[in-house]
A and B are shown apart, each in its own frame.
Chain A
């Protein structure tokens, strides 16, 4: 690796931390109802919306009402997006005259975008009209992100409130997420992206006469507005099939790193928002530190593996065996590594390179990032929730060791919190292993594979890890646009999403009802180094124990066989 490669690896988390701290403070003020420098612009809009739609800003919800509102809101989202895909053929802003989307693809896509997964079994420029991309997909990019933020804020309130029956107002939380956090950031990112060449137009596809005498059809569209929120909301659904590898989504090195910053920004800010809302900033820093340790450890291994290249290609005459298959020159190997790591530690799933073509042990890192539940920063909101579930599990283990009822941030942890944390941690894993098992034991599952040998197993595991973790990136050689994969991944996405969100709200409700226990001499401190180390340990052990056997048969076996010179 060159000096500039090292600088990129180090500067990205550094710059992000510097941006995340003030954003975290800002978000804390937004959700505590405080004034901020956007209030003059958006307070009138907010008030107007509430009056128009009959929302009482002061109304407080129990966890049950909060969950019901959230479920209705998401159900309407799925229905509306499904409907839009069916009738796009007769609607305006469709210069390519694209017809209705096939039912199973449309269902998969609707679930995918509402659950913040943005798994795509379709090719954007061949399937979705401009109107569907804007009014369907872009809208859900905002709303699914806002839903995630809202739930994480509700959980934080659970820790703050004492003897309370309510955890906030869902409508207020999503409206504020959209107006004060997502829209302003998306606006800034959109303009920066367009300045570099990301397209934003309603004209139809351009036909050009190439130098070599052929014709080339160039797909266009309102890309920048969707691209920005795709990263800011850790959504990841590309306007084009090649996602952020497409030059119109990611035209320069600057946009490459802007997109990486965008997709990590809110997930990195949320621990600081937690600290600010709790008025216990050291707690936020401790959680951030645990995430950062895992982030840097994975990134180090990943960069080392991928920059070492492919020995088989070196033998074939490729200089240093550099693995440029499925990578763009302007991003380079390191720019692709940082992006791929960022997109799988969060639940983003945007890709600027083809993960399927990465080295086996690189694939292992990506799989690990997703299968531990995307808690290294994680998706907007749900990443913090996942990490807090691990923190609850950690404190339970610590409680067993010292023989006391476990406590976290001044709340006693009891049966309900424990059960719900385990549901959050294990249900995506169980589903992923079950569905992968079905896929590899049926002909309909295996017929979608594009690579043979152990890599084929990795393709299937990756698909369900991505779906149940609501990530959305893929080992894209797998043909996922079949009825089998469209339906099974849709199931995985729904279960993965709501088995995080609903238990999280139950935890929030239960915590809010408890009184706060003042710290005593016997309290296990949750801000120190010991806590951070235990938390990191628990995450690695749970992840490793659950998935080690299947990783051995997939990426690890592929690595060993490749080292012995074997191909498939």
Chain B
């Protein structure tokens, strides 16, 4: 019986340290040194919150760059993240991929056999991936330029300016955050 009491006391003591004091100290530190990031890296445009730097959004208009398919319901639901969990041998995955490949080729006037970058065809793990590869962005440059009646070179410059490099040249891949890129297209400045 003696151990019960000791266990209970130890549990309460350590819970207090790990479950209240520790997260409170981290919250305090985070909000002093990284206040924007701690609150979700929210982007404001004209006083209105329009998204987060880190969270992707759904784009369907041909005037915008398109991102990855999202398996959440509704798509890009940042209140309930998740992937499709389709097996590589699942017929539905292959059918969806074929359909997606066809529609991307159509949208962008590509040849019938053109290979499409994988991330544009396949859903992300979180359903919220804001990034695509530079190749996938350049592939859409022609369409975006035409729809906006601007020079393709201008669009390509924006892609180049918004390409994020791997950390220390090694860790991760080159990538483009399409929410930021699309905001830049609309004339938004960081």
Contacts and interface: CB of A to CB of B under 8 A. Distances in A.
Interface in A531-563: 558, 561-562
Given A123-B80, A175-B14, A325 B123 contact: yes
Interface stretch (A189-197, A389-397, A518-526): A189-197
B88 interface: yes
Interface stretch (B141-149, B151-159, B168-176): B168-176
B79 A242 contact: no
Given A139-B14, A171-B6, A211 B179 contact: yes
Interface string A191-230: 1001111111111011111111010111110101110110
Given A134-B20, A178-B14, A324 B119 contact: yes
A558 B87 CA distance: 10
How large, as a class, is the contact surface on chain B?
Answer: 35 or more
Contact of B40 (A11, A49, A201): A201
A184 to B, nearest CB: 11
B14 A142 contact: yes
B126 A453 contact: no
A55 interface: yes
Interface in B161-190: 166-167, 169-173, 175, 179, 182-183, 186
B106 interface: no
Interface string B117-134: 111011111111111110
Interface stretch (A65-73, A159-167, A465-473, A509-517): A65-73
A328 B29 contact: no
Contacts of A52: 9, 13
A317 B116 contact: yes
B18 interface: yes
Contact of B118 (A75, A174, A319): A319
A295 interface: no
A443 interface: no
Nearest to A200: B30
Contact of A256 (B3, B26, B89, B172): B172
Interface string A37-59: 00000000000010011110000
Contacts of A187: 22, 25-26
Contacts of A491: none
A562 B89 CA distance: 6
Contacts of A475: 85
B55 to A, nearest CB: 6
A245 B40 contact: no
B171 to A, nearest CB: 4
Interface in A107-158: 123, 125-126, 134-136, 138-139, 141-143, 146
A212 B182 CA distance: 10
A242 B126 contact: yes
Contacts of B132: 329
Interface of B: 3-4, 6-11, 13-15, 17-20, 22-23, 25-27, 29-31, 33-34, 37-42, 48-61, 64, 68, 76-91, 93-94, 97-98, 101-102, 105, 113-119, 121-133, 166-167, 169-173, 175, 179, 182-183, 186
Interface of A: 4, 7-8, 11, 49, 52-55, 65, 68-69, 72-73, 75-77, 80, 123, 125-126, 134-136, 138-139, 141-143, 146, 171, 174-175, 178, 183, 186-187, 190-191, 194-203, 205-212, 214, 216-220, 222, 224-226, 228-229, 240-242, 245-248, 251-254, 256-257, 309-310, 312-313, 316-332, 335, 351-354, 356-360, 450-455, 475-477, 558, 561-562, 566-568
11 contacts: A123-B80, A187-B26, A190-B30, A194-B34, A197-B37, A206-B49, A216-B51, A217-B79, A240-B126, A253-B167, A561-B89
Given A208-B50, A217-B77, A351-B125, 16 more contacts: A4-B169, A55-B10, A134-B23, A186-B22, A187-B26, A206-B49, A224-B38, A242-B126, A246-B126, A247-B55, A317-B115, A323-B118, A326-B122, A329-B133, A330-B131, A357-B86
